[in-house]
Chains A and B, each alone.
Chain A
Amino acid sequence: MNISKSLEKNWLRESLFLALFWFPPIGVLTLYYVVQREKSLKEGDISQAVRHSSNARYWVENGIICGIGFLTLIAAYVFIKGGDLIPVLSAFY
């Protein structure tokens, strides 16, 4: 594994985006890994830091996909409910 590449991003920005705007449950989890990564780095435990960093990356990617999946469910509900929820489109749904 290329250690320097694994640690070049701290994933904080992506985690905050997930936690605040996109999919909070996984956003909180990624924030946890981001904090753990920083802690490990401070303690000089590089292998642990790499592990937390790759976990953060994994959950950021999947968090975005989960968010889109969740949005799909909401969109399906909104369109099936139709005009009751979107008055501007009531002529169609």
Chain B
Amino acid sequence: MSTEDHTNLLKKNKLARIVVAAICLLQFLPYLLLRDNAYVRIHDTLEAEWIWYHLLANSGVALNAGPSVVIEQVMNGLYRNAFHTGWSVLLLWITTLGTFKAYVFNYIVVHLIGFVGMYVLLRRHFLRGAHQLYIVLGVALCFSWIPVFTALGVSVAGQPLLVYAFLNIIKKRTKWYDYLIIISFPFYSSIVWAGPPMFALLGIYLIDFFKIKKTIPIQYLFALILLAVVYILVNFQMFSLMFFQDGFISHRVEYNYFYDKELSILASVKEFFLLFLISHYHVGILFSLPILVISAMSFYYDGEESLVKSLLWMIVGVCLFYGFYNWIVYLFAAAIPLIETFKFERVSILLPFLWCLLLAVSLAKINQQGNYQSKIILLLVFQFMIIAFSNDEVLHNVRQLTGQPKKPNYKAYFAEDLFKEVEQHIGKPKESYRIVSFGMNSGIAQYNGFYTLDGLQAIYGLDYKHQFRKIIEGELDKDPTLKNYFDNWGNRCYVFSSELGKEDAAYMNGKHSTKKINQLSLNTEALKNMGGEYIFSSMPITNHISLNLQFEREFDHKDSYWRIYLYKLKSLK
């Protein structure tokens, strides 16, 4: 390459960096324009993970892992140790910025870490040439737009950066920041989601290295141990709950792994293909068919080079493990109960990273064969568009901006003004009474400071579950699906109704709905015994008199997604 050509290439690369950085930042724009009118993912985020951090941040006991410490606001005092670690970076964001701003800030940081991590990994260890920069930038951009669960921190988006640090160590190019990355990762990721899969990935690499070089890389091994130790220290409260909490029995011991799964080869094959083609929604939807075709194209040029094939086999292996994990549980859970309660199938969390890495090395292979730059850019544009369209948060925010919302925005979902009216009507300190929600997520009342008997929790007491079951026993008896859902899973400890089922209608019944509940079977005596005084219902309960409920008032607010029908247990009036 002549000096002039080289100068032109550098100029082009500089421009490409600016364009790609601008597109990367574009995904954050709706949050800045809409502020709290922006959509934030509800499923497992606003209804669970983010609310747990919110509760922890406001509890004053986030860093107290004492076995007797409880958070009174949830389920008549749920052990603090049943919540996430207090040493999470996410908690730091919420404490310093507030719940909404923390979400946006975290969203930006997580996606930027994804971009930077993929960029430095590819640039340092895979695609080093100046003529390959546009592939690196394109793939890093694709990776940064994948709709990962930001409430899990950098569990997905941080993988390239962590792998980058470990590769630096094994290639003896260690810098101080590699250890900083390794030590920081457990503070900003979920041990249950990212822990075992990352150890599996890095462990496989270690074994592979040992097979080829016939030597154990001591520094790498030390870094792995360091990662494990920091993970254990950061998540000490979880281990404390598992091993030192006298008398606490988690509701998870009654889990039946097969409550929503079918044990058949056909079902496993279906699971395999579903995961292979769109990844997992808890991980980040990634429509992978184009990458598969691109990698197949690169096979022509791959020769004996095995990286593309290795990555593809690794992806197939992850998907097979996920698809057929129910058989592992079926065969071995009796001997090793941990495989049923811990769900090692979460190894699927590696898929977005592996697919993007596969995309990068496949395109690099094609690029080596000739002047394919414009075609490769076109392929990257298509792949990026697919990822952008699959980003549910971006999609809903575009709908918000164009005045065609399909789901409630943050402000409407939490409806603070509406709940203030309810609070004023009740007129008592919130800690002096207990409530349950009906037709809406319990996290909304919790966010607004109410003390709830119901909740969506990853861990809570088995005895509490049994107590709560008495309240909804009549409804569970009416609907076998609901009964199976609560008895064999039970993370959603909600007031269910057979008329609403267990899907969205059961907890996302907004004011646009005209639904009424006609035959609710509720054991209000059991509710009273647990301290319940009020029901916040998102729809009228027409048989409330026979249930001994006093209808107090209907609440509505222009900014609210909900209309609340307030019922009080009659005998307490």
Contacts and interface: CB of A to CB of B under 8 A. Distances in A.
Given A75-B389, A79-B389, A79-B390, A68 B382 contact: yes
Contacts of A82: 395, 406
A91 B147 CA distance: 14
A68 B379 contact: yes
A92 to B, nearest CB: 4
Interface stretch (B30-38, B214-222, B284-292): B284-292
Contacts of A75: 287, 385-386, 389-390
Contacts, number: 60
A93 B289 CA distance: 20
A69 B390 contact: no
Contacts of A93: 392, 395
The A interface is mostly helix, strand or loop, or mixed, namely helix
A43 to B, nearest CB: 29
Interface in B284-327: 285, 287, 289-290, 293-294, 297
B378 interface: yes
Contact of B290 (A68, A90, A92): A68
Interface stretch (A34-42, A48-56, A59-67): A59-67
B41 A92 contact: yes
B477 interface: no
B41 A71 contact: no
The B interface is mostly helix, strand or loop, or mixed, namely helix
Contact of A92 (B43, B274, B294, B379): B43
A72 B387 CA distance: 9
B281 interface: yes
Nearest to A87: B503
B375 interface: yes
B421 interface: no
Interface size class of A (residues with CB under 8 A): 20 to 34
B395 A79 contact: yes
Interface string B452-482: 0000000000000000000000000000000
B461 to A, nearest CB: 27
A72 B382 contact: yes
B504 interface: yes
Given A79-B395, A90-B504, A65 B281 contact: no
Contacts of B42: 91
A85 interface: no
Interface string B466-505: 0000000000000000000000000000000000000010
A72 B389 CA distance: 9
A93 B285 CA distance: 11
A80 B43 contact: no
Contact of B293 (A22, A72, A88, A89): A22
A69 B382 contact: yes
B392 A68 contact: no
Contacts of A76: 385-386, 389
Contacts of A71: 289-290, 382, 386
Nearest to B378: A65
A72 B395 contact: no
A65 B297 CA distance: 11
Pick the most buried of A67, A89, A92: most chain B CB atoms within 10 A of its CB: A92
Interface string A2-31: 000000000000000000001000000000
A62 B382 CA distance: 13
A68 B375 CA distance: 12
Contacts of A69: 378, 382
Contacts of A61: 375
A58 B335 CA distance: 58
Interface in B373-431: 375, 378-379, 382-383, 385-386, 389-390, 392, 395, 406
A91 B289 CA distance: 23
Interface in B248-304: 274, 278, 281, 285, 287, 289-290, 293-294, 297
Contacts of B41: 92
A88 B274 CA distance: 10
Contacts of B504: 90-91
Contacts of B147: 92
Contacts of B274: 88
Interface in B129-173: 147
Interface of B: 41-43, 147, 274, 278, 281, 285, 287, 289-290, 293-294, 297, 375, 378-379, 382-383, 385-386, 389-390, 392, 395, 406, 504
8 contacts: A64-B293, A65-B382, A68-B290, A71-B382, A91-B42, A91-B43, A93-B392, A93-B395
3 closest cross-chain pairs (CB), A and B: A91-B43, A92-B392, A76-B389
